[in-house]
Amino acid sequence: MSLAFLLPAGLAALAALLLPLLIHLARRSEQRPIQFAALRWLRQKPKPRHRIRFDEWLLLALRLLLLVALALLLARPVLVGGASEAPWVAVVPGVDLTQARAVQAPEDARWHWLAPGFPSLDEPAPTASASVTSLLRELDAGLPAGATLTVLVPEQLTGVDAQLPALSHDIQWRVLPGSMPAAAAPVATAFAPSIRYAPQHEAAMRYLRAAQAAWKGDGANAVASDTAPNTQPVPANARQLIWLAPGPLPAAIDAWIREGGNALIGHDSTVANLPATTVLWRDAAGASLVEGTAHGKGRVMRFTRELAPQAMPALLEPDFPLRVRALFDAPRAAPTRVPAATHRPLTGGPVFPQSPRDLQPWLVLLIAILFVVERWLATGARRAVAP
Whether residues 255 and 159 share a domain: the answer is no
Please check whether residue 153 lies inside any domain of the structure: yes
pLDDT band at 251 (very low <50, low <70, confident <90, very high): very high
> What's the CA gap between 218 and 203, in Å, rounded?
27
Strand-pairing partners, residue 91, are 113, 152
Please classify residue 167 by burial: count the beta carbons closer than 10 Å to its beta carbon, then call 0-12 exposed, 13-18 middle and 19+ buried.
buried
Answer yes or no: are the C-beta atoms of 297 and 260 closer than 8 Å: yes
Same domain, 209 and 277: yes
Specify the range with the lowest mean pLDDT, choosing from 14-23, 116-125, 377-386. 377-386
pLDDT at 367 over 70: yes
Task: Tell the burial category of 267 from Cβ atoms under 10 Å away from its Cβ (0-12, 13-18, 19+).
Answer: middle
Count: domains in the chain: 3
- Structure confidence at residue 377 as a pLDDT band (50, 70, 90): confident
Across the strands, what pairs with 157? 338
Round to whole Å and give the CA distance between 183 and 274: 37
357, β-bridge pairs: 79
What is the pLDDT at residue 156?
87
In a domain, 363, yes or no: yes
Half-sphere exposure of 253 (CA within 13 A, CB side): 27
Q: Over the stretch 111-166, which tens digit does the pLDDT of each residue have?
A: 999 998 899 998 888 876 678 888 999 888 888 878 889 999 999 888 787 788 88
Instruction: Give the pLDDT confidence score for residue 170 in this predicted structure.
Output: 85
Cβ contacts of residue 101 below 8 Å, gap of 6+? Answer: none
259 part of a folded domain: yes
Phi-psi region of 252 (alpha: psi -120 to 50; beta: other; left: phi over 0): alpha
Residues 321 and 303 in one domain: yes
Is residue 260 a part of any domain in this protein? yes
Q: Is 50 exceeded by the pLDDT of residue 220?
A: no
At 263, is the pLDDT very low, low, confident or very high (cuts 50, 70, 90)? very high
The predicted model gives 186-207 an average pLDDT of: 84
Is residue 198 located within the same domain as residue 274? Answer: yes
Q: What is the pLDDT of residue 22?
A: 76
Give buried/exposed letters for 192-204 (b at 16+ CB in 10 A, else e): bbbbbbbeebeeb
> Is a pLDDT exceeding 60 seen at residue 51?
no
Quick one: average pLDDT of 338-365?
83
Q: What is the DSSP string of 30-88?
A: -------GGGTTSPPPPPPP-----S-HHHHHHHHHHHHHHHHHHH-EEEES------E
> Does one domain contain both 100 and 7?
no
Strands (E) across 93-206 are located at 110-113, 149-153, 156-157, 166-167, 171-175, 194-197
Q: Which residues contact 279 (CB under 8 A, 6 or more apart)?
A: 288, 290, 291
Please report the pLDDT score of residue 219 as a whole number.
43
Q: How far apart are CA 63 and CA 16, in angstroms?
A: 11
Longest CA span, the chain: 135
Question: Residue 46 pLDDT more than 70?
Answer: no
Contacts within 8 Å (CB) and 24+ apart, 122-127: 125/93, 125/94, 125/97, 126/93, 127/93
pLDDT score for 86: 86
Evaluate whether 198 touches 245 at the Cβ level (below 8 Å).
yes
Domain hosting residue 289, numbered range: 194-328
Q: Are residues 198 and 158 in the same domain?
A: no
Count each helix (H run) and each strand (E run) in the chain, helices first: 8, 20
378 and 386 Cβ atoms separated by less than 8 Å: yes
Whole-number pLDDT of residue 334: 59
Same domain, 364 and 304: no
Q: For residue 26, is pLDDT > 70? A: no
In a domain, 316, yes or no: yes
Asked if the structure places residue 35 within a domain, the reply is no
How confident is the prediction for the chain on average, in pLDDT?
82
Same domain, 138 and 199: no
Same domain, 221 and 169: no
Q: Are 78 and 5 in contact (CB under 8 A)?
A: yes
Q: Could you tell me which residue, 130 or 265, shows the higher pLDDT?
A: 265
pLDDT reported for residue 387: 46
Is residue 32 assigned to a domain? Answer: no
User: Cα Rg for the chain, rounded, in angstroms?
Assistant: 39
Q: What is the pLDDT of residue 35?
A: 66
CA atoms within 13 A on the CB side of 34: 4
Q: What is the pLDDT of residues 59-98, one digit of tens each?
A: 888 888 888 888 888 888 877 665 677 899 999 998 888 8
- pLDDT at residue 218 in the model: 45
Q: What confidence tier does 258 reach under pLDDT thresholds 50, 70, 90?
A: very high
Q: Is 37 within the bounds of a domain? A: no
Q: What is the pLDDT of residue 48?
A: 55
Q: Is residue 208 domain-shared with residue 308, that is, in the same domain?
A: yes
**294 and 317 fall within a common domain:** yes
**Whether residue 93 sits in one domain with residue 71:** no
- Whether 386 has a pLDDT exceeding 60, the answer reads no
* Mean pLDDT calculated for residue range 211-219: 73
Q: What is the pLDDT of residues 284-335, one digit of tens each?
A: 888 999 999 999 999 999 999 999 999 999 999 999 999 999 999 866 655 6
DSSP state of 9: G
